[in-house]
Chain A
Amino acid sequence: MDFRQTHIEKTHKHTRPLISCRFGPQPDCVFFAAEDFQLWRWNISNNEKTAFNTDAWVRGFCFSRDGQRVITGGYDGRLIIWPATATAPQPIHVIDKAHEGWIRGVAISPDGSTLATVGNDHMVRLWNAADGTQIAELKGHVNDEKAIAHRSHVYNVAFHPDGKALVTGDLMGQLIEWRLADRQPVRAWTADSLSKYDKGFRAQIGGFRTLQFNSDGSRLFASGITAVTNAFAGIGNPSVVEFARQDNKQLVEYLSQPKLQGVAWGVALHPDDLIIGAHGGSNGNLMFWKAGEATAAHQFRLPQNGRDLDLHPDGLQLAVACSDGKLQICRMDKKTS
């Protein structure tokens, strides 16, 4: 792997702008959601494409641990469990009002038994991954103004690798750690640099485009936009913030170099202590940081805005969902003839 040699290896042109993407559990498959209200499974080898009719924009989706199911959380508030490999996929389970309004994030527990979803209704909900029945609603103590709870749109969710905790993050930049044993909030802290009230436009800009623990769970990575000077034009810089799990202390804020304008829409953590970000805003870029070093070690210009990112298990390929409807498969190595 040589991230400085990153290049586009393959491009799939879809008919509509893309929203999110993940490498599938099956070899050579990439799943992506688009503005056409569908999730798609694209086979890189034979270029076959299969639609999952979500009937909603989908930003958050994940796979069951056995790779047989894909779970989508739609902007229509529906949580749907699908057969991941079917040739003509039909929903296995549909939870119609999983959330009131958008589902923004979906995650599956390390043991594969539990799904967690978050959304615009300020709620965090847990579901049985097997049948989609609701297990719990994590809302904190909303009646007490000083108590820990989300009071704005919840943007993302990540299970801790030990399976005992969950972290959620909202529009106001607040992160909450929930203890799964009793489903209570344990602590809350704020990623100050990733949320701001723009007084000129009288609106809050922020929210976590990604939340991700490293493999041993000692670090939490959150991404979004920082140093916003004009919320409605998206004038700010992509940022990835690293927190220590132990004390929530912010360790590093990873920033672009040279400075880019826009949002870090996707983050991947490479096992070789490399943090990779996908940027969209004034244009699109992949950003590469060595762990602990705030300044980007390398940036690779994409043809268009990146909107999501995933790292292949081989540690070499990246899938990038782009605003021009293209799914870019990038390779972090030198080109081969």
Chain B
Amino acid sequence: MDARYACQSTAHQIARRGFLSLLGTGAASLAAGPSLLAGLQQQRRRMLVIFLSGGVSQLESWDPKPRTDTGGPFSAIPTAVPGMHISELLPKTAQHMNRLSLIRGINTNNGDHGKGKYQMTYGRNQMPGVENPHLGAVCARSLERSDNPLPGHIHIPGGGRGNNAAYLGPRYASTGVNGKPPANSQRLGNLTIEIDERRNAFRRRANERFLSQRRTAETDAYTQSFEQAQGLMEKRDAFDISQESAKDHARYGSHDFGQHCLTARRMLEHDVPYVQVSHTNYDTHNENFSFHLEQLAEFDAPFSCLLTDLSDRGMLESTLVVVMSEFGRTPRINARYGRDHWGKAWSICLGGAGIQPGAVIGATNTNGTEVVDREVDHGHLFHTYLSALGLDSSSSFNIGGREQPLADPAYGPIDELLI
């Protein structure tokens, strides 16, 4: 049924189409077609990104080069996959490598924090005047749950809303979460349930009356915002990790990253399509080895807990887990025992939904200074994530009649890594 917008202008008709495409119909506007959509909804896939801010060293994590001029003081340890070794700084994660895979041939050719973060979370190079949606916005939109009022794109830690959904619209922008229910999401104490319901019923009646005569794209947005907020209020406990057991709090650790991972588990259990947890900081120009000892020790245990719990709950097969950074760190050890920015030969770790477990894709040379096999960059990675989530990464969003590719059409997924 056509909306009866007040001015009946052609411009508004187009705007409405765009608006509905952005906010209302979710995945239904994917060019991929309804059969795929039905399958997607059935699979209920979701994505967890652990973003190691500042640029984790690949040599102290996923691609160690022990006893070389660039390898630093640490050893490599065996993992649950015969022949696959990772840094000794990740002993707990090593036991999960039969569930995970490594991509060791990444060359993003960039050493700038902002550009690197954009590359890895938007799947494209940042271009002046061009806005692309964040990976989380693409997931939130493409994997939208019509039966779930929670935001589909969560960043932990954080507060408020991000401005990172571009043409997909603010509905898919990130919502920052800190392990507590969002501010002002509780019914006021002096309002009874009955009074609150009557208030909302009155609002709806007034709204419907207004819409019958003066419906605009803006009023639709307001209405949708109200309904989303009300749904969120009903599920505000989903954000509250104080409801998790003391045992789980102890398992994950009392430090920030442990609590953030516990929050992430709770969000994924509530079927949020995209959850990103940031762990800071790995920008170790000075004392790289001592700081990686500190930071990766903090990362290893909660990440391991999270993998265990997702697996035990049967969620790992439907959850794509990716541990990424904006870039890696230089093989060369500088005069301050540091490593600097390096995008020419580095690694990520991923597993879960759609990903072959226990694989190593690509390789660097003996001392890690260049990629020597299966070189890929952020474009390939973005396609790979979407493909692993069951999406056709070569398809497009239809935004107001305009095709917007989900991922950079110049690239494709790493097919041999996909199930």
Is A16 at the interface (CB under 8 A from chain B)? yes
Q: Among A16, A57, A204, A232, point to the contact of B54 (Cβ < 8 A).
A: A232
Query: Is there an interface contact between B67 and A232, defined as CB atoms closer than 8 Å?
Result: no
Q: A232 contacts which chain B residues (CB < 8 A)? A: 54, 281, 283-287, 291, 338
Is A262 at the interface (CB under 8 A from chain B)? yes
Q: Knowing A35-B333, A57-B73, A201-B283 touch, does A234 contact B294 (C-beta < 8 A)?
A: no
Query: Is there an interface contact between A203 and B335, defined as CB atoms closer than 8 Å?
Result: no
A103 to chain B, nearest CB (A): 11
Is A126 at the interface (CB under 8 A from chain B)? no
Which residues in chain B, 272-315, are within 8 Å of chain A measured between CB atoms? 280-281, 283-287, 290-291, 293-295
How many pairs, one residue from A and one from B, have CB atoms within 8 Å of each other in the complex?
A: 64
Report the separation of the CA atoms of residues A227 and B295 in the bound assembly, to the nearest whole angstrom: 22
Query: Is there an interface contact between B335 and A280, defined as CB atoms closer than 8 Å?
Result: yes
B293 to chain A, nearest CB (A): 7
Q: Mark B24-37, 1 if CB is under 8 A from A, else 0.
A: 00000000000000
Query: Is there an interface contact between A233 and B67, defined as CB atoms closer than 8 Å?
Result: no
Report the separation of the CA atoms of residues A37 and B67 in the bound assembly, to the nearest whole angstrom: 7
Is A195 at the interface (CB under 8 A from chain B)? no
Query: Is there an interface contact between A17 and B333, defined as CB atoms closer than 8 Å?
Result: yes
Number of residues on chain A facing chain B (CB within 8 A) = 30
Q: B335 contacts which chain A residues (CB < 8 A)? A: 17, 280, 304-305, 323-324
Q: Mark A245-263, 1 if CB is under 8 A from B, else 0.
A: 0000000000000000010
Query: Is there an interface contact between A233 and B285, defined as CB atoms closer than 8 Å?
Result: yes
Is A56 at the interface (CB under 8 A from chain B)? yes
Is B75 at the interface (CB under 8 A from chain A)? yes
Report the separation of the CA atoms of residues A326 and B162 in the bound assembly, to the nearest whole angstrom: 51
Which residues in chain A, 306-337, are within 8 Å of chain B measured between CB atoms? 323-324
Q: B256 contacts which chain A residues (CB < 8 A)? A: 202
Query: Is there an interface contact between B75 and A76, defined as CB atoms closer than 8 Å?
Result: yes
A45 to chain B, nearest CB (A): 29
Q: B295 contacts which chain A residues (CB < 8 A)? A: 203
Which residues in chain B, 325-359, are within 8 Å of chain A measured between CB atoms? 333-336, 338
Number of residues on chain B facing chain A (CB within 8 A) = 24
Is A269 at the interface (CB under 8 A from chain B)? no
Q: Knowing A16-B69, A56-B73, A233-B285 touch, does A204 contact B336 (C-beta < 8 A)?
A: no
Is A120 at the interface (CB under 8 A from chain B)? yes
By beta carbon, the residue of chain A nearest B89 is A101
Report the separation of the CA atoms of residues A148 and B295 in the bound assembly, to the nearest whole angstrom: 25
By beta carbon, the residue of chain B nearest A16 is B69
Q: Among A75, A153, A207, A233, point to the contact of B73 (Cβ < 8 A).
A: A75
Which residues in chain A, 1-57, are within 8 Å of chain B measured between CB atoms? 16-17, 35, 37, 56-57
Q: A262 contacts which chain B residues (CB < 8 A)? A: 336
A8 to chain B, nearest CB (A): 18
Which residues in chain B, 52-110, are within 8 Å of chain A measured between CB atoms? 54, 67, 69, 73-75
Q: Among A75, A201, A323, point to the contact of B280 (Cβ < 8 A).
A: A201
A24 to chain B, nearest CB (A): 24
Is A231 at the interface (CB under 8 A from chain B)? yes
Which residues in chain A, 166-217, are within 8 Å of chain B measured between CB atoms? 200-205, 207
Report the separation of the CA atoms of residues A200 and B281 in the bound assembly, to the nearest whole angstrom: 8
Q: B74 contacts which chain A residues (CB < 8 A)? A: 75
By beta carbon, the residue of chain A nearest B336 is A234
Query: Is there an interface contact between B281 and A203, defined as CB atoms closer than 8 Å?
Result: yes
Is A73 at the interface (CB under 8 A from chain B)? no
B287 to chain A, nearest CB (A): 7
Report the separation of the CA atoms of residues A57 and B291 in the bound assembly, to the nearest whole angstrom: 17
Q: A101 contacts which chain B residues (CB < 8 A)? A: 293
> Would you give 7 A-B contacts (Cβ < 8 Å), ordered by A?
A200-B281, A201-B54, A203-B281, A204-B294, A234-B286, A280-B336, A323-B336
